[in-house]
A = this chain, B = another copy of it.
Amino acid sequence: MNLKGMYPPITTPFLDEEIDLEGLARNVSRWMQTGLSGLVVLGSNGEAPLVDDDELEWVVATARQGVPRDRQLIAGTARQSTRATIRATRVAATAGADAVLVQTPHFFKTQMTADALVSYYQAVADASPVPVILYSFAPLTGVQLQPATVRRLAEHPNIVGLKESNGDMAQVADHVTQAPPGFGVLVGAAATLYASLCLGASGGILAVACVVPELCVRLHRAASEGRHQEALELQRRLTPLARSVTTVYGVPGLKAAMDLAGYVGGAPRLPLLPASDSAREAIRSQLVALEELAEAGDTL
């Protein structure tokens, strides 16, 4: 499995607190008209912790209908217990996922030693019908996947890559250096995408790619093809919006940006509240700035 390029961790649209499968299908269809390598359903940006277990199957199956077999459909299936993660992984695989993205368990942070994490991921990878992608997001979860742990896990034939969202360039460099051939290192912190690609990362799973997929794809291509100046300039333009739809305004901000960009965004599930009017205004200005560049001859 070749993890390379840009993947949006797509949102889960809701209507009156229920999943809007039709809206989901519409979004997927539009993303598949761009140069994205695939997409991720039910990651953090898909509000996975707010989605019930019996809804997982429908989200994956609906996305699968829109994602052709030559692009990758990845499903987030991490739960806090090993057995629940395995159960969700099997459901996702059956429903059509090409791979699963599994965040470190983290509720019992201090107990998540390297040994506990290795044993967790090995059990999941042994049981999973599809390849497993590791996922470390320490600023959110308080749990680190150290490079040495990733190296041990990368030996498992069913573990094929890593999503690294810590924004720590030294760790990205370590992961890339130590990875066996074919092991994908995807970054999750958009503001460091270009720097990470310089260091050898193979792509990214970025919230902002839900909103401006072509801009992200172009940045990845520019960096891959050695057009460093262009990549740096695209990074500079991407960063403000990327921050708005993650650290600044969160999933509600991401959904607001999608609404403004013509996707089905909508309200998040409670207890998340919709983006405030001022958040929406700030995001609108950032989008307008990007669009003006596009009209001046640039594709977003």
Segment at the B interface, from A21-29, A58-66, A103-111, A285-293: A103-111
Interface size class of A (residues with CB under 8 A): 35 or more
Of B53, B111, B169, B273, the contact of A169 (CB 8 Å cutoff): B169
A271 with B192: CB separation less than 8 A: no
Bound Cα distance A112, B50 (Å): 14
A82 closest partner in B (C-beta):
B270
A170 with B192: CB separation less than 8 A: yes
Dominant SS among interface residues on chain A: helix
Q: Which of A168-198 contact B (CB under 8 A)?
A: 168-170, 173-174, 177, 189, 191-192, 194-196, 198
Segment at the B interface, from A33-41, A67-75, A115-123, A157-165: A115-123
Bound Cα distance A84, B17 (Å): 12
Report the copy number of this chain in the oligomer: 4
Residues of B within 8 A of A110 (CB): 247, 250
A252 with B111: CB separation less than 8 A: yes
Bound Cα distance A2, B120 (Å): 42
Of B120, B168, B173, the contact of A239 (CB 8 Å cutoff): B173
